[in-house]
Structure formats: structure tokens, C-alpha cells
Structure 1
Amino acid sequence: MSPMENWLRTSKKTLVILAALVWYIGAVMLLRGGLDLVAQAREMRPDSAWHWLFIVLGIILGVIQAQTFFTRSCRKNIQRIRELKDPRLWEFYRPGFFLALAGMISAGILLDILSQGNYFLMLFVAGLDIALTISLLGSSSVYWTDKMAFPGETHSK
């Protein structure tokens, strides 16, 4: 076996940590984008309070998504990682996830561009960004507290 092949081997714990880091990076990027869109919309209509509605709706939707779809997705990924026989560094997500991620990033950029100059569309996209931020952050605790993630280790809740 070549040194490169050995280097690409990793622990399942490392894969879980990498999966969580991708979750956090996504959350930070989405939050930055969402808040930037809110700021741009507020510049367009400084006296309007509509932005608060979209922020609150984004938070509510994010909490619901975190408790359902996103948490379930994290648990399924942890289970998949646990079942790997010979974990490799790139296996913290399935290949299809990376393709979907590229599509989601592209769609987000397109929505950002299309919303420019349209007050309510900017707030709608900002609300989506905030919802996804909350979803990612809210579900990320599974990576640290779920006993499946680090079997044999104790966790405080």
C-alpha cells in the first residue's frame, strides 16, 4: 500500500468531525448572506419593519427543519459513517451529497443575484438563508451528543 493510500485512511471520529465542520461552515456562510440581504433591503426601505417578519419566519422554519429533516439527516450520516469498513478522508458525506451541495450553492447564488433590487424577494431569500442557518446549527448538536457519533464515550446533555 502506498503512503498516499495510508494517509487517506482516517478514523470514523474524524469523519464525524469533518461532517460537523461542513455543517458549521454552511451555517456561517448562510447567516452572513442572509444578514447582508436584510441590510441591503433596509437600505432600500429604512422605515419599513417587514424585515423582522422574514427574520422571525426564518427562525421558526429553521427550528422546525432542525428538529425534523436536518436532525434525521445528521443521524443517517453518522450511521453510514459507523458502517464504513475502511474509512477514507473524503467519506464524511456520500458523493451525491457533494453534488447536491454544489447545486444548492449555485441556486443560492442565483437567488441572491435575482433578488437584487427587489425588496420583498431580498427579504424572502434572507428568510430562507436564516431558516437554513438555524436548521444547520440546531441539528449540528447531533454530531456532538448522539451516542452513535462517538460510541463508548460519555456525553453530557
Structure 2
Amino acid sequence: MTTPSTLTVHGLDELKALAGAELGTSDWIEVTQDRINGFADATGDHQWIHTDVERAAAGPFGVPIAHGYLTLALFIPLFTGLLEVEGVSTKVNYGLNKVRFPSPVRVGSRIRLAARLAAVDEVPGGLQITVDGTIEIEGAPKPAAVLQSVSRFYA
């Protein structure tokens, strides 16, 4: 799904030309209790701090918080809102070089991604991109996640 702010590139040559580019910030998305519960169901991680609203209200954050890995998983839809690569046969999440979770995402918070295309490198049959990303929490002094993601695009 693309938004009006999505940068669309056509093919590997246009992608390669973006090395070092600031990609801007994505639209905000809300982290709801339903989203947290769905992630808990998908992963089997039903720790009370995420899913038990009453117990979490008495816990250290006053409300349930999102799983760190849910926040990380939201990188993909947030990133897709910033950059769409067309004219390639395959897109692969290749891995992560670094991930930190400086601040929890409280239920009801809105998050967005600020990203920079740190590197574009040739690999056999395509390109590998390295993205420096910060998942920001609206109104919070610290980000939810700081990461470096690696993806590959094949012709």
C-alpha cells in the first residue's frame, strides 16, 4: 500500500541512485490492544505486560505495552509507506545488523518510521540495501526502536 508521500522507483538503476538518501518519515499508525493481542496470538507470547489490561494498569508503565518484536515487525509496513520498488522480480528481507528498543510503546500510542537509505550494494542478480531506521513514538522523547535493516531486490 502506498501513500501520497511514498517514493516509487522503477528498477534497480533508480534504486541504486538513491544511496545515501533521506527517505523522510512515514504516516503514523496506532498500536492498539487488538494489534498487540493479535501479535501475542501469532507468536504465543501472552506475557501479562502486553495482554492483561487490568494487571498492566498496575504495572510499571500503567498500561499494556507492545512487544518489542511487534514494533520491529511494523518496520515493513512503515517502510513500504516510504519507498516502493517496482520493476523487480523479488524482494527479500535479508536481516538486521542492529536493533535496540530504547522506549516501550504504550497501547494507544502512534508510531512512525524515519529512514535513510544508508547503502546500496550490488549482489549477484540484484541489489542489497541497508536502511537506518528510527521508529518514533508520537510525543515521546525516546524512540521505540533504532535499527539497521538489510533487504535485497532482484531483477
Identify whether the pair has TM-score above 0.5, normalized to the shorter chain: no
Greater per-residue strand proportion = 2
Structure of higher RCO (CA pairs closer than 8 Å, 6+ residues apart):
1
TM-score under structure 2 length normalisation: 0.25
TM-score normalised over the length of structure 1: 0.24
Larger radius of gyration: 1
